[in-house]
Amino acid sequence: MNHNTPLSHSPRPLRHLSHVQRRVLTTAQLKAHGVSAAETNEQCRPGGPWQQFLPGVFLLHAGPPTSEERLHAVLMFAARSPAQPAPAIPVQPGAEAPHASQPYTDALITGLAALTLHGFTSAPPLLSLDKIDVLVPRLRRLRSTGCARIVRTPSLPAPSYITGVPVAPVPRALADAVAELSDANAVRRLLTEAVRGGHCEPAAVVRELTQARLLSRPHVVDAVDSLLAEGRSIAEDRLYRMVQEFGLPDPVWNVDLRLPGGPHLGGLDAYWPEQAVAVELDTRAPRQDEDALWSEYARKREHLERLGITVVYITPKKLRDAMDQQATVVRTALMASNDRDPAAYVVVLPR
């Protein structure tokens, strides 16, 4: 057999590999197909029809890998793969695949490659990436090699399956991408798209960046400040829309409350003076001072409620995912005002 002989005309057992849907296999999978290590080495000799792409992972063709082949090769290298070849089960693009049908254990695509799979337009095409980040448990004995860059974590997050590829959630993928980026504009574009595109809420991103200890980098802090401002602006727009779409009475927007001749009581995003009902968007970022900030929120709420003012806290995520439920909560608070004692008189000032 010469180097150009197609697999479909190869002697047993190689001829049986011509039907393999994905032309990337591990040493264990080749062995399960009846291909010995010596035969694999023979196929991968210089000028041969196969190539070793990563340790223990082989491409069953001589040309460059496709983006899909690179992803699966990296996962095969990093995952605890079964010895038997996984069944070839087609997965529709963007669909969630049953976990049992996936051949990969303890490995997720993360970083820029994951963001590309999530649909980020500000992330580069897969084939342009020199490295593909793969997330594995911290105690796995693996080293980065070739295009596979190992990223470790104490515990793997629940994956999303995109075209059959296990992918880290957007906040974790963002943190892993930002860890490798020194370009402030690139970091800003990724974080902004995460919020504008509805991929996740700012608080989730900041939580991951904090855990990754990335908030000590000035260009990351600047991008996070922009992210939080972007997130608040989007949440405010949703709050305006909720009031309009669900027929709530018009409140006064963005006000400060004070006691007559007394202290400042705090700012509110919406306030219904006649019913003494307030709405505040909970856009706290989970940074190191979260406990102190929450204590401030709690003191403010307790003070207002002692004055007879009902405070409804709404998170941006709840506004995005369950606007109707939040409208019901506010409407209930407004209707219940008739059954409460009158609130203390407060001065309402524009913020």
What's the average pLDDT block by block, 10 residues per block, for the chain (351 residues)? 40 50 84 89 90 94 92 93 41 40 82 97 95 95 95 94 94 96 94 90 90 92 86 91 96 93 87 94 63 67 89 89 95 90 87 82
Instruction: Lay out the sheet containing 310-314: strands in order across.
Output: 310-314, 277-281, 264-272, 252-258, 347-350
Rounded CA separation 91/263 (Å): 61
* 73-109 per-position pLDDT tens digit: 999 999 985 433 433 433 334 434 434 345 788 999 9
- Helix and strand tally (H, E) in the chain? 11, 13
Residue extent(s) of CATH 3.40.960 domains in the chain: 243-350
pTM above 0.85, yes or no: no
To which residue do tokens 């799979």 refer?
117
**In the CATH scheme, what architecture does the domain 243-350 have?**
3-Layer(aba) Sandwich (3.40)
Rounded CA separation 91/182 (Å): 36
pLDDT of res. 84: 38
pLDDT of res. 226: 84
pLDDT of res. 91: 37
**SS3 state at 254:** strand
DSSP, res 213: T
pLDDT of res. 228: 84
pLDDT of res. 5: 40
